[in-house]
């Protein structure tokens, strides 16, 4: 009987472990795939743009100038094209990393909150809250202190390495969206833990299934920039 009870108790934990392993593997490969495609597009577009722009510079003059005058020549010969080329190379990769990171976290959040919020998100959140309250036993009940304690809790979760990093990111993602405007701090029996947990779960459940529109818009900007440089002299 003891063995049966042990197996019964371990089964949900094993199921959660398998689920999180599979889910976070998918997240990693999704992130890797999008970033790889984005960077390949950036490199291809930038090289072609650079070739098209340099064709417009007199090679006889450009061969005898130093880097700074050449850069000025590059910018003044076709200023709009040069700016678009620089945006492609410097701004696009930063946008890809920021947007992809948000896309993956949103995708994970939407999946977990609909599949396993009761067995993954809530227990992990309860654990973080328990640790936080053990360090902060006295929680003053007013808007300023609630906001301050929320920031402290976020910091504690960020620094807690005992829980999966993606679960931590998801919980923090939801907590940062919390608003306390509708909380009556004069009401008796206000509970910091319950308010923060309830509002975080509400925010996470409100997140819709993500789409790749923002990523596609950056890719579209790159290729439209290339098309502009190709067909114009600006």
**What confidence score (pLDDT) does residue 109 get?**
86
Q: What pLDDT is stored for residue 5 in this prediction?
A: 41
Q: Token match 């490969």: residue?
A: 29
Domain containing 13 equals: 2-231
Sequential pLDDT tens for the chain (234 residues): 443 443 344 445 667 778 878 888 888 999 999 999 999 999 999 999 999 998 866 554 454 555 556 567 777 888 999 999 999 999 999 999 999 999 998 988 888 888 877 778 888 899 999 888 887 766 655 556 777 888 889 999 999 988 888 889 889 999 998 887 777 766 766 777 888 888 898 888 888 778 899 999 999 999 999 999 999 988
Tell me the C-alpha distance between 14 and 20, whole Å: 10
pLDDT of residue 67: 53
Q: What is the pLDDT of residue 69?
A: 62
- Tell me, what's the pLDDT at 57? 67
Residue 192: predicted pLDDT: 77
Q: Count structural domains, the chain.
A: 1
| HSE (side-chain half, CA atoms, 13 Å) at 169 | 15
pTM of the model: 0.76
Looking at residue 141, its pLDDT comes to 54
């Amino acid at each position: 009987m003891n063995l049966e009870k042990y197996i019964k108790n371990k089964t949900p934990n094993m199921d959660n472990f398998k689920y999180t392993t599979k889910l976070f593997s998918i997240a990693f490969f999704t992130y890797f795939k999008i970033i790889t495609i984005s960077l390949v597009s950036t490199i291809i577009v930038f090289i072609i743009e650079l070739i098209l722009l340099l064709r417009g510079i007199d090679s006889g003059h450009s061969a005898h100038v130093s880097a700074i005058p050449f850069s000025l020549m590059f910018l003044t010969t076709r200023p709009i094209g040069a700016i678009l080329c620089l945006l492609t190379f410097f701004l696009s990769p930063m946008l890809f990393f920021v947007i992809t990171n948000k896309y993956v976290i949103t995708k994970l959040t939407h999946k977990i909150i609909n599949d396993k919020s009761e067995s993954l998100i809530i227990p992990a959140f309860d654990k973080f809250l328990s640790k936080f309250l053990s360090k902060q036993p006295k929680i003053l009940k007013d808007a300023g202190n609630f906001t301050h304690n929320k920031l402290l809790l976020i910091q504690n979760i960020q620094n807690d390495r005992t829980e999966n990093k993606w679960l931590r990111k998801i919980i923090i993602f939801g907590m940062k969206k919390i608003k306390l405007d509708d909380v009556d701090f004069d009401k008796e029996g206000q509970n910091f833990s319950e308010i923060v947990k309830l509002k975080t779960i509400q925010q996470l459940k409100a997140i819709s299934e993500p789409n790749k529109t923002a990523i596609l818009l950056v890719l579209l900007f790159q290729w439209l920039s290339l098309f502009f440089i190709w067909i114009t002299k600006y």
